[in-house]
Structure formats: C-alpha cells, structure tokens
Amino acid sequence: MQAAAALLVENLASVDAAWHGEYRAAFLARPPEQALALAVKGLGSLSGGELLGERLTVAYETRSQENEHSCFSDNTHEDLRLDTVGIQNVCQGRYGDAVRGLGLSELVRGVNPALGDELERDVAAAVAAVSAIPPPFDQAILGDDTAPGRAAIQRAMLALGSEADAFAKVASALSLRLPAPVARTP
C-alpha cells in the first residue's frame, strides 16, 4: 500500500509539474481561438469518445466486468459522475466554491443564446443521467436491457450523445478550427 501511495504521489506530481511547466506555457501561448478550440475539442472528446464510447458503450454491449473503467477499485460510478461534473464546471465557469468565472455556456450565449441554453441543458442532463447509474457499475451492466442498471446506463449514453453533439454545434457556432497536429518524434 505504501508503494502504491508513493507511486500515486509521484504520478500526480509529474502531472502537476507538466501543467505548471511546458504544457501550460505552450497552451497559454496559443492564440485564444486555438486554445478555445482545443478546450472544446477536449470537452467533446471526453463526453462522446471517452465517456460515451469507451467507458459506457463497451461495458454496456459486452456486459463484461473486465470492461468496467475502474474494475479494480469498483469506483466507476464516481469516476463517471465526477467527469461529467468537471465538464459542467467548465461550461459554468466554476470549480467548487472557490472559482467563479466566465464559462463556455455564457461565451456561447454571447454568439447564440439558444445554443448556450441548449449546451447548459444538455450538460445538466448528462450529469443527472450519469449520476443516476446505480452502483456498483459492474452489476448495473448485467441483466437484460430492461434491468434498472442497464436502463440507467442507456439513458446516460443518450444524454452523453446529446452533450457531445452540443459541443460540435458550439465549435461550429464559434467558428473554431483546430491547427494541424504537430508530428512528434519518439
């Protein structure tokens, strides 16, 4: 347990150092439109590709506990919920009680009020739907499609799909364009 805790601290320190070092500096040095485009792309990728695709759909379709995101800690329901709350925080410009600022929803409302409201609704619906998945997740994926856990997962998948679609609309409404990927050398 001590070795695992030490490794966790080391890994978190590495992530913290990367953010406060090169990555943060490079991100902040980008033109604002590029930084915003990367943020919106990241939100859409987390919502659609990661949460909907990798974490929910695969486990839902296979009914395999091995495809549960946090199969060893049995904490998948909290991981999913906190990821959706993190997306909501960015959209609302908040983090807990300490940080309040301009969120993505408000920025979008300045260009397209209806879309800003749609984004806010879709994000709130995703948080609610994911939060309604009953723990433990590895049991919720079992049974037939009418089982309460599977029905809750299916509702969460639909909500995350709508949320991801809203991020695509946001990118279009804000005319966001991503720069070409930079080739990396090994």
Considering only CA atoms, give the Rg of the chain.
Answer: 18
Prediction pTM value: 0.86
Q: What is the dihedral of CA 45, 64, 67, 134, to 10 degrees?
A: 70
Whether the predicted pLDDT of 15 surpasses 80: yes
Grade residue 20 by pLDDT with cuts at 50, 70 and 90: confident
Q: Is residue 57 scored above 90 in pLDDT? A: yes
pLDDT tens-digit readout, 81-100: 999 999 999 999 998 888 88
pLDDT value of residue 148: 97
Q: Tokens 């080739």 label which residue?
A: 183
pLDDT band at 184 (very low <50, low <70, confident <90, very high): very low
Cβ proximity of 111 and 174 under 8 Å: yes
Q: Average pLDDT in the 109-119 region?
A: 97
Q: Where are the domains of the chain?
A: 1-30, 31-173
Higher pLDDT: 186 or 17? It is 17
Rounded distance, CA 117 to CA 161, Å? 17
Indicate if the pLDDT at residue 136 is higher than 60: yes
Which CATH architecture fits 31-173? Up-down Bundle (1.20)
How far apart are the C-alpha atoms of 86 and 80, rounded to whole Å?
Answer: 10
